[in-house]
Each structure stands twice: as structure tokens, then as C-alpha cells.
Structure 1
Amino acid sequence: MESSMKKPAPDQHDFHFWTDEKFRIADTDLNGHINNNAVGQFYEAGRGEIISSVLGPPAKRSIGAALARVQIDYLAEAHYPGMARIGSRIARLGTSSITIAQAIFVEGRCIGMAESVIVFLDKATRKPTPMPDAVRDGFTLLG
């Protein structure tokens, strides 16, 4: 059973891998703040960059990768115009998966956090496959 206690918001020092994204007018909702769909896309951009930093571009990867789970906690509003700084780190290394912890910061303030599980796949069978040692070593450095 999960605890009902909220996790404290992470600090910028908790992350060493960064992705910057500019807010667009299209990212806003009827209340004038950055909408939940845009926030999900910011986390996706951060995940894509941290994974690509180890595996390279998708067309050249020796193994596939698929998002198996994502959990997002919204902590505060953000408004256009502005920038999102997405901090990412590897929180857990499994045999055939990684867990990525992320947070979005706007002007130094944490507005949300996410945790995602990525499963690595054999490109031919599309079934989970263990990470090669070089891939594991690459993700270990990003924890």
C-alpha cells in the first residue's frame, strides 16, 4: 500500500541532466496556465534526451525502448511566456528497465515531478531484453 504522505519537492541539485523547453501559447489552457498535456510533453522531451544520450538516436539503437509507466505530480502553476527546465536522473536500474526521476523547474521553483519506467526491448521480438553492459554503464553514470 502506498503512503498517503507526499514526497517533498526535489531540489535542482538532485539532477545532473537537463533539458530546456520554451513555453508556447498553444501550451496554455482556458485558465491561462500551462496545461497538463504540455507538462507531459516536457517530461517526454527530458526522457528522450537522457535515453538518447546513452543509446543514441532511435534509428541506430541496438535495442528498443518503450514507456511502461509514468506518474506525474503537479505542484504549482506555470504561465506563458516562460521556460521549463526539466531535470532528469536515473533513479533505478533493473535488468531490462530503468526508472527515470524528473522535475520541472520554472525560474528555480519546482512546479512538478514525475517518475517513469522504461523497458528495453529486443528489436526483432519486441519482448523485454536485458540491458547490454555498455548501456547499463551509461545509465549508471546518470543516476
Structure 2
Amino acid sequence: MFSCTMLLSAVALTLLAVTVEASTGGGGTPNHNYDLSGPALRALYNSPVYKAERMKRPLEGTTFVAGPISHSGVRVTLANGAQWLIHKGGGYGVSSDTVVTAARHMSPSWRVVKEGNFLGRKTVADFVATGGSNYDFLFDNCHWASIRMMNQ
């Protein structure tokens, strides 16, 4: 009985943390005004990706990464060396819950968990599309999206 109560408490805390994470945009990315538009946005989305790194960071208000009790995304590096974070969260974007933000706005708590060399074969738009437009806490969250992006 005690272990069942502990498990339910852990699940409730996880749900609360993810809800707070999604509403605040944790890590300072989606809720800030770093928007590109018009030709600059089109150029970014059409840019070939040469390197991709799947990354994780603690949820907002925590100091640890423990599997799904974290936030993940993919940092891509373009031919000119520019880096962008592509990640997913409920309500992060207007037309899609997978968003792209300049990597310079990432907090230092992000850590690389996997690297991939894409040799320019995929574009930023491919990564965003693979991330998916709709967020679902259980079946299509930031972790599933970042795994799909790295495996494309």
C-alpha cells in the first residue's frame, strides 16, 4: 500500500511539473519574443542541418534530470555555424507546438545526450515537421519528438 501511495504521489508531482513547464516555457525559450518572420524565417527553415544534438535539461523549478522528468529538444548546427533549438511543448507555438529558437537563449542546464551528423541532408523544416505540430503529454511530448528528430 505504501509503495502504491508513493507511486501515485510521484506521478502527480510529475504531472504538476510538466504542466508548469508547458505553461512557463521553462528554460526561457518559447515565451520570449525571438520571432523571425518573412524571408528570414523562410531562409532558416530551408537551411540544411549539418549536426544535431539531442539535449535534456531539468524541468523548471528542479535541479535534476530523471528520464521523463526533464525537458528535451534538439540543437541543430547549420553550415554557417549558427545553432538553433527545436523543441516541443503544449502551447509553445501558434500554428505548431514544435518551435525553433536561437540556441544562444538556452540556459546552461541543457546537456547533450546524443549526437548525429546529418551532412546537410535534412533541413530545419524537416526537423520541425518530424517534431509534429500537436503536443500530447503521454503520446507526443518533447521526448518522443526529439527522439523522432534524431532518428529521421
TM-score (structure 1 length as normaliser): 0.29
TM-score (structure 2 length as normaliser): 0.28
Give the structure with the higher percent strand.
1
Give the structure with the higher percent helix.
2
